[in-house]
Structure 1
């Protein structure tokens, strides 16, 4: 059973209408997303590594599917510097069993390969549950 929940609905308390839907899944997944963004901005690659699967893929706006290990290495080398990330829409979450997908629009202030810009990104993040934790398996970015 897939359920779509917005962050705003959590604030309003409408989650109670989903009797078979574990509230903690939404809270944990949303919190993991926020901590992931925070770790990007602080450049904390070790923390990001805790939040992603071993086979994590970051799909750039160019379509390049970058393995997580390569992305983290390039972050550590200063090729990706995130100065800020502001959500522009309330994220929506779809949960089905041990997988979830979060969608949101974000303005990311970042320096990528030496060029700084405010990137208007639509994120679609796939989560999987492993060992009781929700981990990011794939993050696809598109411009909007």
Structure 2
């Protein structure tokens, strides 16, 4: 997987989150994808997509400030600092999040296997 492909998948993730595009998110996330929130809560793909669909989690804007890509080896990774304007369980704020994502092959392409969010 190339660095450009990793960056493109991260950008697709951010755009789909803001758009609330569940079909796109479903297509770029591994079936066993997990999102670890900055609170430490680990959320399954199905639970996260349900929360987006119900409006419990709404992403209004995401700006990637910087990204570091490790596209070598069998499990490429990306660490991105973002400013994420979101309403999460009723609280709206702009969070400065570090998103660490790992990728895995699927078919002829790649998917995001897991993401861990923390603050910066």
- 1:2-27 Cα shifts (integer Å, max 9, x gaps): xxxxxxxxxxxxxxxxxxxxxx6222
Matched, 1:130 2:78: no
Structure 2 unaligned spans of 5+: none
- Which protein is bigger by CA-based radius of gyration? 1
Name 1:36's counterpart in structure 2.
Answer: 13
Count of residues in Structure 1 that have an aligned counterpart in Structure 2? 120
Q: Is the Cα–Cα contact under 8 Å of residues 52 and 135 in structure 1 kept in the other structure?
A: yes
Matched, 1:45 2:27: no
Name 1:63's counterpart in structure 2.
Answer: 40
Instruction: Please report the TM-score for the alignment, with normalisation by the length of structure 1.
Output: 0.80
Q: Is the Cα–Cα contact under 8 Å of residues 104 and 122 in structure 1 kept in the other structure?
A: yes
Q: Give the match's secondary structure for 1:27.
A: helix
Decide which structure has greater strand share.
2
- 1:34-88 Cα shifts (integer Å, max 9, x gaps): 0110000000011100000000000000101100110001100000100000111
Residues in 2 aligned to 1:35 and 1:95: alpha-carbon distance in whole angstroms: 17
Following TM superposition, where does structure 1 have runs of at least 4 consecutive aligned residues deviating by more than 2 angstroms?
95-98
Identify the match of residue 104 of structure 1 among 70, 80, 96.
80
Instruction: Please report the TM-score for the alignment, with normalisation by the length of structure 2.
Output: 0.95
Name 1:54's counterpart in structure 2.
Answer: 31
Q: Give the match's secondary structure for 2:71.
A: strand
Residues in 1 aligned to 2:2 and 2:64: alpha-carbon distance in whole angstroms: 20
Structure 1 unaligned spans of 5+: 1-23
CA shift for structure 1 position 128 = 0.8
Backbone CA RMSD of aligned residues: 1.1
